Amino acid sequence: MEGNERYISGNSKTHDFKSEREALVSGQNPFVSVLGCSDSRIAPEYAFDTARGDLFAIRVAGNFVTDEGLASLEYSVAVLGAPLILVLGHESCGAISAGIKAVKDHTVFPGHIPKLTDALKPSIEKVLNNPGSLIDNATAQNVKDSVNRLKNASPLLTDALSKGTLKIVGGVYRLASGKVDLIA
């Protein structure tokens, strides 16, 4: 979160990519794994002002847990020793918007896009009648649901959680400010 404060204030560290590249030849040691959205406006490495090798990123439109994403997160915890998983949603998510259209208007999208909207439907349906902005509520609910899924999805992760060697949290990235608000 200190890196996010530097990013917000415009005081990001200057990274020496050449020496970072040389230092990472022998391996990586990420201190956080991020399950984030594929949206091109959000770059977790920048948002948290991290160097290469610090952050292990898994990205899928809508930042929900897939089997492949879960396997990648397990790898980051079991093999790389990452002590933290952050599920990172963001404002104005196109995948969440598509999910809302699929739920409310019964819109059917082409190709494999329905796999995204189907995965997001449960979170959207939970907040459909809540007061406030549906997209904001659905974004937050999706983050919370993904955090809860990760906490119960895998013996490997639940074991690390019970031993205290892993924490799983959720946050929402604010597009205008760059601030990440922790919500779960």
C-alpha to C-alpha distance for 99 and 130, rounded to whole angstroms = 16
C-alpha to C-alpha distance for 4 and 45, rounded to whole angstroms = 10
pLDDT tens for 43-90 read 999 999 998 889 999 999 999 999 999 999 999 999 999 999 999 999
pLDDT of 10 above 80: yes
Angle made by CA atoms 141, 120, 172, in degrees to the nearest 5: 40
How much is the pTM? 0.92
Identify which of 98, 52, 58 has the alpha carbon closest to the alpha carbon of residue 76.
Answer: 58
pLDDT of 9 above 80: yes
Identify which of 19, 93, 80 has the alpha carbon closest to the alpha carbon of residue 54.
Answer: 80
**Look-up: residue for tokens 């991290």?**
50
Sheet of strand 32-36: strand arrangement? 55-59, 32-36, 84-90, 167-173, 180-182
So what's the architecture of 2-11+29-182 in CATH? Answer: 3-Layer(aba) Sandwich (3.40)
Scanning 38-106, the segments in alpha helix (DSSP H) are: 44-47, 67-78, 94-104
pLDDT of 105 above 90: yes
Strand runs (DSSP E) across the chain, as ranges? 32-36, 55-59, 84-90, 167-173, 180-182
- Over residues 7-17, the mean pLDDT reads 83
